[in-house]
Structure 1
Amino acid sequence: MQLTEFRVQNYKIINDTGWIPVEDLTIFVGKNESGKSAIFRALSKLNPSDGEGYDGLKEFPRQRYAEEITKTDWPAASGRFSLSPREQEEIRALSDLCNDVHGVEVTRHYTGKYSITYNPDIGVELVTAKDLTYVIDVAIEQFRNLIAPEGRGEVLGRIKGELLSILEEQKEVASNAGQVQKRHITDLINMVKTRGNEQWQLELINPICEPIYSLVRQIEVYESLMAANRYIIDHIPKFVYFDQYSVIESAIHIPTFIATLKSHPDSPSLRATNCLFRHVNLDLDILDKLGTHKNATDENPIIRRQVDERSILLSTASNQMSRRFENWWDQRRIRFRYDIDGDYFRVWVSDDLDTSEIELEQRSAGLQYFFSFYLIFLVESGDVYQDSILLLDEPGLQLHPTAQQHSVKFFERLSQENQIMYSTHSPFMIDLDHLERIRTVHESEDGTTRVSATEWPTDHESLFPLEAALAYRIASRTYIGGRQLLVEDIVDLWLLQAMNYAVEKIGKSGLEPGITITPAGGAANLIPLASLIRSHKNPVSVLLSGQHIPADALTRLSGMNTEREKFLLLYSQITGTPGSTIEDVFNHDYYTRCVKDVYPNMVVTSGSGENSGERDGNQGILHAVSEAIDRRQGEKFERWKVAETLSDRICEAPGMVDDETVQRFVRLFEEINKATRAE
């Protein structure tokens, strides 16, 4: 059975999630306290691997508990499953009603009761006491009205008296009965039929019994459907729920564990340890007694045999875990060894790179997590783990981001045999290539949990992991993008690309192939981003407008193990004027004509000069234009609008760009080419 959708209702802060479609691998993203854990725990109890049922006192929505808990048997979790061809064939063999069934919907209630709906829907009504009393009334009336064949009135009268007495008695029994059983009706039919032993008698009695027979057939159909229901319940995949509380300890004090298990058998902290003993197949009561016989010094042959058996079980289980875990953990070949030293059970770990054994708790948190996860998965799924669904609550939180990314690939591999759902708020556990796997979990205005499979919520905190994952992807592709030129913003990118196109169109040398221009989103981001790119051994240069150099940027450059002049470029190196931006590299008249296209009433003051060499101090053309527009037109100058117009004009008519501008950009491109070449 393959889970296709699920629904959680009436559970903690969840009123109703609605139907949530799931894939082989489905990821639930949301902030803390949004309800991710509640969704998983509720769903896991549809068929829990740990056997834990619903507890209305602890799990029913608290604000509704007093008024509503006793009103009905509330549904908690539902799942819609598709049936495999084999399962469809087997269920058809149980009930003819299921000939066309290809899917089922299973709901579990707080009492543990299951309700099942088939797809396509089928149904047969249960025979009730009211149904039985009705057909008995009809039979009584028909027997009263029987007319005997000629000469047989006396015999028929005696038979009618007996039959009416039986039917009246059974009517009273039926009216007081609870559920009507098949044997009740067959016994009634036998009592009626035995009153007639000749053919003419049976010809009168049998037609009257036919409605009673129909109830038997109705019960048989119902029983066949109940058999199909039992089949469905028996074949629901086991849900293995795993959270951080289930990570095992590597040194277990056996007497303490046994005492705690007896006093608090449902404690989540004992779950993994209990699975460990079950995996080794050790009887805890015998194990507790053996604790007083350290090193098997007791000459009692029974104790000696138990100790030897314990050693064999430990060795077998250790080898089995090592062999199976190898198919899961692809980072190193791990070997486990289980050992009992006095009152302590210990897990020792070694690997192919270091054969020295150390305790499990001394290994990485990631290995401890996945060992515990696999152990619970293996034991609670009863080794038939192909029929299990894994619900992992915030897996890999303690892992390094790169290990979290590896975990996603690991889960993808596992999902080929087992459906997996996991919750996260880490951007490194999100694969942006498969957004169809993501379900967002967020709080509604009334504080209850909502889940979305088709729309992104407006809540920024819920979307933050996705936004961070996207930002990381963009940044990581920048790091590995070959030769990089970092510029301050998108305007620099537009104008550099446009002029590179222009100089090449008129036969001049532009940027060398392989150079990527990346806007950093502000001057303050240029130096940190350049530092990260250089840490990846990629050539990078930074092109700054002198007007916006951060105060401590040049100081930070000195710590980057490189000569600043090798990768730091300034527009002022081309214009000869401090504070130059990319607009100052253009001829003054060429740029201002574009400004006037955007701002027709703009008048540039004479103090701005005719070219970049004559401009006032460190102000530049942008200051003059902005001042003219802000003061004379009463509107705010928007640099990007002029840059967009200028870029379009350059690309439409590369030959119309003046020679002075072309020469300056050719020089700029030469400097960029030199600065971005690998050292």
Structure 2
Amino acid sequence: MPLGEVKYDYIADYPRKDLVRYRPQHETGQYQRIVELSFRIEKPLADRINKEVFGGAEVVAPNSMFTRDTTIGNTSTIGFYVDEKVALAALERTLGDLEHKSEVFADVASLIDVLTKIEALELPADSKLAAFAAQWRARVIKPKGWGLINGHIWHTYLSPSLPKFLYFDDYKLLEGKINLPALQKRINESRLTDADETAQGLLQLAGTTLQELMGEEGYESAKAKLEAIGLNITQKIFEFWKQNQDLDVEFDLKSDSKDVPPFNSGINLYIRIKNRRHGVTVPFDQRSKGFIWFFSFLVWFDAVQSRAETKDALVLLLDEPGLNLHALAQADFLAYIRELAQQHQIIYTTHSPFMVDSTRLEDVRVVEDRIKDGTKVSGDLAGSSDESLFPLQAALGYSIAQNLFIAKKNVLVEGPADLILLQHIASLIEAEGKPVIGDAILVPVGGLDKLATFVALLGSNKLKLAVLHDRASAPHQKLEDLVRQKLIERKRVLDFSMFIEPQPSEADIEDMLPLEIYVSAFNATYAKELAGRNLEIGELGRHPRVVERINQWLKEKGILLLKDGGFNHYRVAQAAIPMLTVVNMKPEYLARFEKLFSKISEVL
């Protein structure tokens, strides 16, 4: 479902080894189905359909599915069906107690039958039944051949909600100079090149038009306009391009009869990059390939919705973006991707470890060309080949190198709050002359999902790993899969509930601590935000995890500490550390951690 006019070409796109056999079939209209997309009708859309079409009756179930199939001949079929009997019953209820209602809805198979019966009654045009029939007869039914109800729901609600796909590659690079009359001619003739589309994006981003640039005006007016455009573009580009901030984008309009066609006829727009450090300008296309790519990508996408005349969110498909960018420039590009992702869904392919966001490894999918199966896309990192995993391992290695050192024995914990609390209490126990975890190190990985990813990526590197995670009400599926695949032994997967008696159904590290100390640390951390409304232990609910009990209290009191709710566990852990002394901890609490450290030493 491309935003533009892209279509399949069976000569170029059909598997070549089968083309001779398939060609006669295609030429007689027997097209092969090649794509099936499955869509879910989410609750807000289902509720809207049910309210507007069926008076609130649930005919279209929330989260129900439908499909859209596409053939190599660019034809499509929709797999969507509403139970006609249920729909008719709902429509009948919307008409209340009208005369003739039961008569026209009796013994009918479709809405067409109902409308035919109503029209046969020859009721006055202003009667409710006649208006009902006229309203349905006037509705556009697409695709042809559908029933009135299915066709109306598809055309009015589902089809407009389908996402459009937009693809970007290296062919859409911006050129350093643009002949404005030639660009205008290609626009008039509807034969724009990829570079032309990017040039249009540049004009949109600059807040100007082709007609405005080609208009005749005095020197001062033209100069002011060009400088304004240059300043506007410079500000937007260098919000994300951090590699060299001593650059400015400058524009110039000039005719040059000595240039090659078409630049020797009419006005040219020149794009130049000024280096403030050296005080010189160079043509845009003489800058590095990475800068040209980054610049072109940003101006193309920044105005894509207005040029496409759509307000809908898009699915952006990027093929190997940023190949020519420096590693740190790829990080800049990821920052722009994160901003785009607030509005659009983005899918991109890469071989570069610097294009892998190490904070979102759970979003990564591996693409492999398997001999018997063909190309497979999978989130199962554990079952992927070494070649496929290499970019992920490199990305993870880079992240680790920036933050910590991996020893031969590692205890993977979920977050920095776990790390600092365990380190502090280990030092208390060690000061008493008791053993803790020896030469093993604690490694925070940023959440339970990433724990599973770390095990899958590092487990084959001859490292001894143990996992210490929060206990939720149900086992974590990814960790269970790793145990089943024998990537980590069951005995090395530990959770905090194992060291609390009686054993709770759920537990975090915070549940290993004295409750009064943690509540005091919470109140001290957020004293300003709470404005005197201190949390009291007696106000906490009955959830097994103290973190969730505090979250519930905040919600009940209408206190918003973080944008998405909850509170910062790391800040509270920091405040708790000075309070966690041998005296305050009491023997029973220290015994929990002694048992934990003993178990870690045992399994490693």
TM-score, length of structure 1 as denominator length:
0.42
Structure scoring higher RCO (CA < 8 A, sep ≥ 6) equals 1
TM-score, length of structure 2 as denominator length:
0.46
